[in-house]
Amino acid sequence: MSAPARGVALVSGAGSGIGRACALALAGRGHALGVIGRRLAPLQAVLAEAGGAGLAVVADVRDAAAVEAAVRRIEAEVGPVELVVPAAGVACIAPFAELSSQPFDEVVATNLLGCANLLRAALPAMLARRRGSLVPILSVAARRTFPGWSAYSASKWGLLGLVETLREELAGSGLRILALTPGATASPLWDALPGEWDRGRMIPPEAVVAALLWGLEAEGAAVEEIRLRPLGGDL
């Protein structure tokens, strides 16, 4: 195993779906990995598939102290974080009037507050180094709404507000923020959702990865947002 050529890519939700695909591609780009999720086994499997350089830390992104400790540990044991990909996320579907506070709050706490926790933990050291990129995984649901997706849209629209504010605050800091807003993407996220979902009509995670890499590597411009939609339109 050769030493990684780039700084650490910190990826939450790296054990499956989009986060997993991003982590593997970033390892291929030469980053050591710091991967975070609630289950250790899938994180370790990603590290093994990526060649082993990095650290898997179990943390629930809703727990700010646990996320802070995870990021400190990754920085101490793997190295300076250069790239943050907050991909941990959950979804639920139900008409708002039938949705109890528990699933609603879980979605907002994970997708919005969890992403804020990760960015807050990583930012001070990145700002001190004056380099790095933040690539939050938002969603088409940050740009349009779908019946039944109130909690998810609230979380992603809220996250978009955070991301766009942060981009203004980061002007001149040396840090960049690239928001990815994919439509329905074939991942395990859909397994627990009610309804029939045609994975064949969805975006492959590899297309999200291609957007991530292009956004990072585009020269002479700061790419601020990349929207991806299924070829046949939104599901």
Which stretches of the chain bind ligand NAP, using CB under 6 A? 12-13, 15-19, 37-39, 42, 60-62, 87-90, 110-111, 114, 137, 139, 182, 184-185, 187-189
DSSP characters over 97-129: GG--HHHHHHHHIIIIIHHHHHHHHHHHHHHHH
Six-digit token string for 68: 């802070």
* Residue placing its CB nearer to ligand NAP in the complex, 161 or 174: 161
Shortest Å distance, C-beta 124 to ligand NAP: 21
- Cα separation, 107 vs 111, in Å, equals 6
- Cα separation, 16 vs 187, in Å, equals 8
Shortest Å distance, C-beta 221 to ligand NAP: 24
* Residue placing its CB nearer to ligand NAP in the complex, 17 or 54: 17
* Residue placing its CB nearer to ligand NAP in the complex, 44 or 174: 44
Q: Which of 21, 74, 83, 152 is catalytic?
A: 152
* Residue placing its CB nearer to ligand NAP in the complex, 130 or 199: 199
* Residue placing its CB nearer to ligand NAP in the complex, 216 or 228: 228
What lies within 8 Å, CB to CB, of 171 at 6+ separation is none
- The 3-state secondary structure of 157-169 reads HHHHHHHHHHHHH
Is there a catalytic annotation at residue 152? yes
Shortest Å distance, C-beta 110 to ligand NAP: 5
- At residue 149, φ and ψ (nearest 5 deg) are -110, 35
- Cα separation, 170 vs 88, in Å, equals 23
Q: Is residue 135 within 8 Å of 180, Cβ to Cβ?
A: yes
What lies within 8 Å, CB to CB, of 88 at 6+ separation is 12, 13, 19, 36, 37, 61, 110, 111, 114, 115, 118
Strand partners, 31: 6
Shortest Å distance, C-beta 137 to ligand NAP: 4
Q: Is residue 54 within 8 Å of 46, Cβ to Cβ?
A: no
Shortest Å distance, C-beta 96 to ligand NAP: 18
Active site residues: 152
